[in-house]
Structure 1
Amino acid sequence: MTTCFVAFGGNLGDVAATFSAAADALAATPGVSLAARSRTYRTRPMGDAAAPAYLNAAVELDTQLTPEVLLTEMQRIENRFGRTREQHWGSRTLDLDLLAAGTRVVATPRLTLPHPLAWHRRFVLDPWCELSPEWTHPVLGETVRAMRERLLVRPLPVHADAEELRRRLSRREDVVVVEDSTAAAIRFVSEHSARGPRNVLVPSGAAGGRLADDVLTAALDDPQPLVSTDDERGGA
């Protein structure tokens, strides 16, 4: 059995009810056992600031399925609840992301594990930290708790290798642009640069600025739990 973590997100319809039904559907999948479920959090939308607020949560499950097969089952559940993929970071009824499968490192055209964007997203890290704060990222070498705490510093230290983006970021009060990239919580680098821990590849020009803003929206958010009941901790 492999312990896996799955992130839930959505901002259309009765999202809380959708989360509950989707968790039940995961638990009913052959070879899957739901171990725990986080509280549900209200978070800021990425991309379209005028979009409805998101709800986010996470579940821990034990499974005999391979990560690829589990991903297929998750996508079937998304489709069942009306998920469409017409707009990147657009509004949706249900988004299920496989965050990790044990400590496996996977890099295929279809699946990357651990999830490559989780480390700078509070809407992922906050519910995940409830479930398994000491789970350690096999590439970064940091626990979920440490990844989350790195984003709590204000102003948040960031690094950018493009002068235009440095000027844009320096106008923000919630971040500080540092010259030493090793001291940065997030490093914004040219899309032609090598991938690396805490690197976010951004295009040049206005598109890079918008991407950096979206990344910082998720990193600087302060997700608010909607409930604190114990009945979600042992399954849905």
Structure 2
Amino acid sequence: MERIYIGMGSNLADPAEQLRSAIAALGQLQHTRFVGVSAFYQSDSLLPGQPRYTNAVAALDTALAPLALLDALQAIENDQGRERLERWGPRTLDLDILLFGDRLIDEPRLKVPHYQMQERAFVLYPLAELAPQDLRLADGRSLVELLAACPFVGLDRISQS
């Protein structure tokens, strides 16, 4: 089993409920044990004119291969009404593999550590709630260094209920 971290986001159809449903679905994945979830955070969309996002990070231990996990996550997204009409468009649910153990993965469908996570406070701060203090990414960067370079700006920590 490897420890993995999943970034979760939604800005359509009751985003907090979308995340709660995703958490329940993650807990049902085969060959996987749900470890925990961060607080929920709200953040502005990366593109103007979209509703605010609700984000969180989940920790799982899994025996699934990376692409099998990706397929399972995309099935959860689809079950919750995800439509892939535009790359950065609004969405009912987005599930991203942020870290997969200490692996560097560079596949056409999957890049781990997740690209641009170092620039996204809505990923780093929830991740820091779950990850060990001394977490290092497979490329050698530490979570502490990433947090220091990415201020807690534009985020609101909210209740999960």
1:145 alignment counterpart? 144
1:226 alignment counterpart? 158
**Are 2:93 and 1:94 equivalent residues in the alignment?**
yes
Greater RCO (CA < 8 Å, at least 6 residues apart): 2
Structure 1 residue identity aligned to 2:114: H
1:181-236 alpha-carbon deviations (Å, 9 max, x no partner): xxxxxxxxxxxxxxxxxxxxxxxxxxxxxxxxxxxxxxx7431110289xxxxxxx
CA drift of 1:75 comes to 0.2
Question: Aligned partners of 1:53 and 1:222: how far apart in 2?
Answer: 10
1:42 alignment counterpart? 42
Question: Aligned partners of 1:134 and 1:2: how far apart in 2?
Answer: 17
2:70 alignment counterpart? 71
2:18 alignment counterpart? 18
CA drift of 1:74 comes to 0.1
1:124-153 alpha-carbon deviations (Å, 9 max, x no partner): 1111111114321121x222232011123x
Moved over 2 A (4+): none
Retained in 2: the 8 A contact 1:12–1:92? yes
Secondary structure of the 1:124 match is helix
TM, length-normalised to structure 2: 0.94
Higher mean displacement: 126-135 or 94-103: 126-135
Secondary structure of the 2:25 match is helix
The count of aligned residue pairs is 160
Give 1 or 2: higher helix fraction: 1
Matches within 5 A, 1:192-211: none
Identity of aligned residues (%): 33
Question: Aligned partners of 1:89 and 1:111: how far apart in 2?
Answer: 17
TM, length-normalised to structure 1: 0.65
Q: Structure 1, unaligned stretches of length 5 or more?
A: 153-219, 230-236
Please provide the CA RMSD for this pair: 1.5
Structure with greater Cα Rg? 1
